Chains A and B, each alone.
Chain A
Amino acid sequence: MDIRTTITETLTELFEEDDLDVPELVDDLVLLDTELDSLGFAVLVTRLDDELGFDPFSLMDEPVYPVTFGEFVGVYVDHAPESSSAQ
């Protein structure tokens, strides 16, 4: 499964778990316009660490705070270890 699909599925699951409306997960979706709060994204990062085996936010040299869904996926793709990106 590629990174984008994993993120989409994990995020959708999180919205459903919290009984929130699932937005259409397109690249220019502004993350904080969704009903998920900042702690929700922290939870997402934890879940993705379990799913993908890495946490880009703890790996990056300079902090990046993605604004849109597309940027969020980009952070993961950019920081993926070799083996993950080939999945």
Chain B
Amino acid sequence: MNSDAPSTGGFPQPSSPGITSASGSFSFESLRRDVRGLRGAVAAGDEVALATTDAGLVAAAIATLDGWADTVHLIGPGAELAVPEIARIRIESLVATDGEPVADDYSGERSTAWVVYSSGTTGEPTPVSHTLSTLSRTVVATAHARRLRWGILYDPTRMAGLQVILQAMASDAPLVAPDFGLRLDQRIGTLIDHGVTALSATPTLWRQVLQLPTPPWPLEQITLGGEIADQMVLDALANRFPDARIVHVFASTETGAAFSVHDGRAGFPVAYLDDAPRGIRLEVRGDILHVLSPGVSVAGDDGFVSTGDVVSIDGDRVSFRGRASGVVNVGGTNVWPEEVETFLRSHPLVSEALVWAVPNALAGNLLTAQVVAAPTDDPELTQGLGKELRKWARQHLANTHVPARVLVVDQLDLSSTGKVTRS
């Protein structure tokens, strides 16, 4: 890391295998024995809320409370208000890192509900109830995973973070978990210092990682999820980390989990619609990708769940066009802001772009874009960049897709899931 990055001193040395976070280093086997004493803090059959930014505590809860608690609400930054009043028993303050196991032998017969809060498009967190098996749908224990040292950048209470934790637990692989509340550069510094070789992040976070002045980092496994991975970020990662296997994962809170693609190309093979990996069943209904996921509370009568992702089929490839809820109507035309973002990011002077709709009395909506200029030695190049980009967009895009404003900013606002915030 750069020399002015704060020290990560005090972070425990990783135990292998197991999870290492600021609250300690624990093997998964010891967590299952309840060395952190969660079953002493939560009565059997209780409904509890776990509000934390510490993946170590989430792993402890998964290891001890499934089959013990009635309901566990997983609460990250921003989801606080959506939790029912009854559930506001906090367990994080009750948990000692050296707690005594109170029930190291229990039947686990209870079906525990794990409530995950997704970021709704209206800004109101939406609860989705899962079982541990629906959360673990695509988690596969592999010897390959065990040879890697994993890092986590995601909010550990959200779907993407849970996938990383569950994958490590299933594979008994080491996981390094800097606190989610820290700045990205601090968290990356901890991951590099502790020899992390495998990491999952959103495309937006990966673009930021690519902009950090990191020392050489021998990553072996790179995973992208949570947002559409465009070809540009896939290519940039392949250039920066030539030895890494690059995988983009499709998973969402609504479907529990889904499938991954590792051929380095954006989208996924059209053959997956007939025969997807790992017994997943996919269907395109009205341009929207659906996944068979009968155990999930929002599934339809036939067990299929809308992923909310609009796709198009081009030759042998299914491409993501954007979120169905994210589609905006500009002058009578449906526009996916993500497509305009991808276009803006393809400009050599742009490193990041965020596009959202602003209601307009004359056109229904118009797009506003925020861009971050690419680092350059010649600041004159980025003078008037906003106007230049708008002109460039007019030359290449339909007028409905041209942002009315292009604002040049120092950095984009990111939500707690690491995704860009379209507000």
A-to-B contact residues, CB < 8 Å: 17-18, 37-43, 45-47, 50, 55, 57-58, 63
Contact = CB atoms under 8 A, between A and B. Distances in A.
13 contacts: A17-B391, A18-B394, A38-B362, A38-B363, A41-B362, A42-B331, A42-B362, A42-B404, A43-B404, A45-B361, A47-B405, A57-B361, A58-B361
A43 B366 contact: yes
B390 A42 contact: no
Nearest to B363: A42
A57 B366 CA distance: 14
Contact of A39 (B358, B390, B400): B400
Given A41-B362, A42-B363, A45-B361, A50 B405 contact: yes
Contacts of A46: 358, 360, 366, 368, 404-405
B359 interface: yes
A47 B404 contact: yes
Contacts of A45: 360-362
Given A18-B394, A39-B366, A42-B360, 14 more contacts: A17-B391, A18-B391, A38-B362, A39-B330, A39-B400, A42-B363, A42-B404, A46-B358, A46-B360, A46-B366, A46-B368, A47-B404, A57-B361, A63-B361
B90 interface: no
B278 interface: no
B240 interface: no
Most B C-beta atoms less than 10 A away, residue of A37, A45, A63: A45
Contacts of A58: 359, 361
Contacts of A39: 330-331, 363, 366, 399-400
